[in-house]
């Protein structure tokens, strides 16, 4: 018998919030497990029709397991949501920094989403994937928006070659583009201007980017000077404005406030003779990492943002701009889990029990970096009785390498498979080779089929870039 686990069998808590359990189309960002999760006859967790234990046997561990259905579902909810609630043109672009790879780009591109890239490497990856998928140079240019607060001249030249929209972050970048345009007399450079709106939201200090004390974007008091400069330089085709107020946000009001602020700035830009047909409100919608988390659904967020922009445009008596949103974590975070094998155990009487897994901070640096919390199940014993509280430790030579503190689990044994949920965003993309551990493999699962999308690194990969000076060799 196969059962869909709407409740955590180890804690009795709901995988989906109470207001989402009975919906026909649950929002992926509100679910702890991917939407295709099942418990099979072996009492094993299945994702995308694939048995967790079988996947680990075939591909090794740690292993990132990305559910294609959940990812596509999130894409369609964003895309179709804006079509439903926003009366103007809209475009959803994926914030690639969450996880950039050929396969991730490929899946998302086929859902008609665009891409937000923040480095030459992300731009290169996205362009290569889209080229292999058969997109034309013009289509690729239209799909990509290039972010970054300190783009190099080489990266700006790379962006100009692709023809993508450049989201300008500061004066140096704006002036550099004018200089580069002198060698492109017949080409206007599509840009958006990034602004710091001064809007606070309740999230981790390191992922708040909308308050005034931020490294990102022009300050509001510079706005009119920026507009005047752009109006003087016809090589700059300013398409509109951008702002982003942070990530892992559970509140709708800050994004509604942002819409009003940005529309007012659009109106000011038009007074300088700029058309400004696009408005990019960033992303930031949070996901459910733990049973206590309660983010708005994708549909709720899209509806709130769309209505706020339309109302602000009506108040300012300006036409509706093309509305652009940049979700990252809420697209891919909940679509992936990481499977580990359990290893050693250390029991400290009346204090703590540690169980160690074969990965940790090198494949998921978020707990040690942001004190991020996650949820866990014992993937090969899904219905086993819970009987202990343990701290899941990584294998790295670092005291802070703790994956989850005080996890409620059944008794574990070496070789059992722990499954950490919600690892699609900022896990592989922030992974490292700390302690010279090779980075894990990743598979894309769907309808009982698993496709390798990232090979497991080897020891040879670890030393590929190393150079041993000849003078050291006897």
| Domain range list for the chain | 28-66+336-462, 69-332
Alpha carbon of residue 210 to chain centroid: 17
Our answer to whether residue 397 is catalytic in this structure is: yes
Residue tagged active-site, from 50, 137, 238, 397: 397
Residue 247's pLDDT is 83
The CATH architecture to which 28-66+336-462 belongs is Beta Barrel (2.40)
Phi, psi dihedrals of residue 392, rounded to the nearest 5°: -85, 115
Residue 210's pLDDT is 42
Within 10 Å of residue 366's Cβ, how many Cβ atoms?
A: 20
C-alpha–C-alpha distance, residues 59 and 57, integer Å? 6
Fold of 69-332: TIM Barrel (3.20.20)
How many degrees, rounded to 5, is the angle at CA 366 between CA 357 and CA 432? 70
Residue 211's pLDDT is 46
Is the CB of residue 364 less than 8 Å from the CB of residue 338? Answer: yes
β-pairing, 336-348 vs 352-357, is antiparallel
Picking from 411, 464, 425, the residue whose alpha carbon sits closest to that of residue 94 is 425
C-alpha–C-alpha distance, residues 328 and 422, integer Å? 13
Is the CB of residue 245 less than 8 Å from the CB of residue 255? Answer: yes
Q: Which residue numbers in the chain have pLDDT < 50?
A: 1-3, 18, 20-23, 201-211
> How does pLDDT run across 193-207, given as a tens digit for each residue?
999 886 654 443 333
pTM: 0.93
Residue 187's pLDDT is 83
C-alpha–C-alpha distance, residues 325 and 4, integer Å? 32
């Amino acid at each position: 018998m196969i059962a869909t686990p709407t409740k955590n069998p180890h804690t009795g808590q709901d995988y989906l919030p109470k207001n989402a359990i009975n919906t026909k189309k649950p929002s992926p960002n509100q679910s702890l497990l991917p939407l295709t999760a099942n418990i099979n006859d072996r009492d094993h967790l299945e994702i995308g029709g694939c048995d967790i234990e079988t996947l680990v046997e075939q591909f090794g561990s740690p292993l990132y397991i990305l559910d294609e259905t959940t990812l596509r579902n999130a894409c369609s909810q964003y895309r179709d949501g804006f079509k439903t609630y926003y009366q103007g043109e809209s475009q959803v672009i994926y914030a690639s920094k969450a996880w950039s790879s050929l396969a991730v780009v490929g899946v998302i591109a086929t859902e008609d989403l665009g891409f937000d890239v923040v480095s030459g490497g992300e731009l290169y990856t996205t362009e290569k994937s889209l080229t292999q998928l058969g997109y034309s140079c013009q289509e690729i240019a239209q799909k990509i928006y290039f972010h970054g607060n300190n783009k190099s001249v080489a990266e700006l030249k790379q962006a100009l070659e692709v023809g993508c929209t450049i989201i300008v972050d500061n004066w140096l970048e704006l002036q550099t583009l004018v200089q580069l345009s002198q060698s492109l007399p017949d080409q206007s450079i599509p840009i958006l201007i990034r602004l710091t709106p001064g809007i606070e939201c309740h999230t981790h200090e390191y992922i708040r980017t909308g308050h005034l004390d931020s490294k990102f974007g022009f300050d509001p008091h510079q706005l009119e000077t920026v507009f005047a400069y752009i109006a003087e330089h016809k090589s700059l085709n300013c398409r509109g404005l951008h702002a982003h107020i942070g990530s892992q946000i559970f509140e709708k009001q800050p994004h509604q406030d942002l819409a009003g602020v940005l529309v007012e700035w659009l109106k000011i830009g038009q007074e300088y003779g700029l058309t400004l047909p696009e408005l990019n409100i960033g992303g930031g919608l949070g996901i459910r990492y733990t049973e206590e988390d309660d983010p708005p659904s994708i549909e709720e967020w899209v509806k709130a943002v769309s209505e706020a922009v339309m109302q602000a445009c009506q108040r300012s008596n300006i036409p509706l701009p093309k509305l652009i949103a940049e979700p990252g974590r809420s697209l891919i975070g909940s679509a992936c889990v990481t499977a580990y094998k359990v290893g050693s155990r250390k029991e400290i009487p009346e204090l703590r029990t540690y169980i160690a897994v074969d990965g940790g901070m090198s494949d998921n640096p978020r707990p040690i970096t942001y004190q991020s919390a996650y949820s866990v199940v014992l993937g090969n014993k899904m219905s086993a009785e819970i009987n202990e509280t343990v701290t899941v430790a990584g294998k790295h030579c670092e005291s802070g390498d703790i994956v989850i503190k005080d996890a409620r689990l059944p008794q574990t044994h070496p070789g059992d498979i722990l499954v950490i949920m919600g690892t699609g965003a900022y896990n592989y993309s922030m992974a490292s080779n700390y302690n010279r551990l090779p980075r894990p493999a990743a598979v894309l699962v769907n309808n009982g089929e698993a496709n390798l999308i990232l090979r497991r690194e080897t020891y040879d990969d670890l030393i590929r870039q190393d150079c041993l000076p000849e003078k050291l060799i006897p």
